[in-house]
Structure 1
Amino acid sequence: MFEAIDDLKNKLDQRRPLSPTIVKNLQEDLIIRWTYHSNAIEGNTLTLLETKVILEGITVGGKALREHFEAINHRNAIYYVEDIIRKEEPFSEWQIRNIHQLILKNIDDENAGRYRQQNVLISGATSTPPDYTLLNDKMSQLINWYETEAYKLHPIERAAKVHADFVGIHPFIDGNGRTSRLLMNLELMKAGYPPCVITVENRLAYYEALDQWMAHGKTEAFTQLVSNAVREGFKPYQAVLGL
């Protein structure tokens, strides 16, 4: 499943380090697309261009303040993920809480970075998240798996599992989807792969594949969807570098 992607990665690695100008250009493009699509999946109504304008510091008339914060917060969460990678910090619950806190800043400060204190349902899903009293144990188990078993998987499989297992736990009242996609891409970027931007157009297939994993333990569809999105992530590099 991953041979063609690993071949692209090898070609990209041979061109590294990229010039600061190319890195900046690719980063700006990525942040806008990733922020737009991840927020749109969750119901944010900003367009791609409106997202770009807001991230440049301009207010868009007729759009809710919450939607402005969602764009700004997501951009800042990406910056934080990049900082984790630069500092080579190990995966931890502290990081997860920090990412979530950034996602909900100025939107729901009371619950930002705090595990939920009530039981919830995942809309449209056929599985139910664990009881809130089990969250500390479930999150500890996730980190323990990561520290002891995760290295055995291909980076794309590992990233997909981090995403799916985190969403299955659903530790926060809100913002689990955005947080899970940031955690998935933290894994991919650590390993030198482009981030996986799940597009809003693929939302239905994304939800269905996730549900297959969480409800039935069928991992193939979601892993394939992530793999396809990672492959798409090489296209900006191909356009700029002629890979």
Structure 2
Amino acid sequence: MFENIDALKAKLDQYRPLSPAIVKNLQEDLIIRWTYHSNAIEGNTLTLLETKVVLEGITVGGKALREHFEAINHRNAIYYVEDIVRKEEPFSEWQIRNIHQLILKNIDDDNAGRYRQQNVLISGATTPPPDYTLLNDKMAQLIDWYNSEAYKLHPVERAAKVHADFVSIHPFTDGNGRTSRLLMNLELLKAGYPPCVITVDNRLAYYEALDQWMAYGKTDCFIQLISEAVVDGFKPYQVILGI
């Protein structure tokens, strides 16, 4: 499943390190697409071009202030994830809380970075997330697994599992989806792979594959979906570098 992805990475690695101009161009494109699609999956109505102008500091008429903050916050969370990669910081609950705090800044400051204090349902999911009294233990178990077992998996499978396991815990009242996709891409970036952007057009398949994992432990569909998105993540590099 991963041979094609690793072949693409090996080809890209031949061109690294990329020039600062190319890195900047790729980053600007990625931030707009990743922010647009991740927010649109959660119901944000900004278009791709509207997301671009909001990130340039322009207010879009007729759009809620919350939607503006969601775009700005997501971009800042990407910056934070990139900073973690640069500093080679170990995976931790502290990082997760910081990412979530950035996602909900100026939207729900009371709950930003704080685990939920109530039980919730995941809309459309087959199984409910754990009782809120178990969250500290569940999150500690996730970190323990990461530190002891995660390295045995291929980076793409590891990234998919971090995403799925985090969503199944659903530790926050809101913003779990965006946070989970940031955590998934944190793993891919650490391993030298391009980030994986789940497109809003693929939302139904994404939710269905995720539910199969969470409810029945069937992981293949979700890993396949993530793998295909990672392959698509190489395309901007191929365009820019002509490979």
TM-score (ref. length: structure 1): 1.00
Report the counterpart of residue 6 of structure 1 in structure 2: 6
Report the counterpart of residue 237 of structure 1 in structure 2: 237
Question: What secondary structure does 1:196 align onto?
Answer: coil
Distance 2:13 2:191 in 1: 11
**Equivalent runs, 1:99-110 vs 2, <5 Å:** 99-110=99-110
Question: What secondary structure does 1:77 align onto?
Answer: helix
Report the counterpart of residue 87 of structure 1 in structure 2: 87
Report the counterpart of residue 185 of structure 2 in structure 1: 185
Deviations 1:10-61 (A, max 9, x none): 0101100000000000000000000000000000000000000000000000
Question: What secondary structure does 2:14 align onto?
Answer: helix
Report the counterpart of residue 199 of structure 2 in structure 1: 199
The residue identity in structure 1 corresponding to 2:187 is E
Structure 1 segments, 4+ long, off by >6 Å, are none
Question: What secondary structure does 2:118 align onto?
Answer: coil
The residue identity in structure 2 corresponding to 1:175 is G
Q: Does 1:48 align with 2:48?
A: yes
**Equivalent runs, 1:72-221 vs 2, <5 Å:** 72-221=72-221
Distance 1:196 1:212 in 2: 20
Question: What secondary structure does 1:15 align onto?
Answer: coil
Identity %: 88
Deviations 1:193-238 (A, max 9, x none): 0001000000000000000000000000000000000000000000
Question: What secondary structure does 2:69 align onto?
Answer: helix
Give the number of equivalent residue pairs: 243
Distance 2:9 2:127 in 1: 35
Question: What are structure 1's unaligned runs of at least 5 residues?
Answer: none
**How much has 1:242 moved relative to structure 2?**
1.5
The residue identity in structure 1 corresponding to 2:212 is Q
Distance 1:19 1:161 in 2: 32
Q: Compute the RMSD of aligned alpha carbons.
A: 0.3
Distance 1:15 1:199 in 2: 27
Question: What are structure 2's unaligned runs of at least 5 residues?
Answer: none
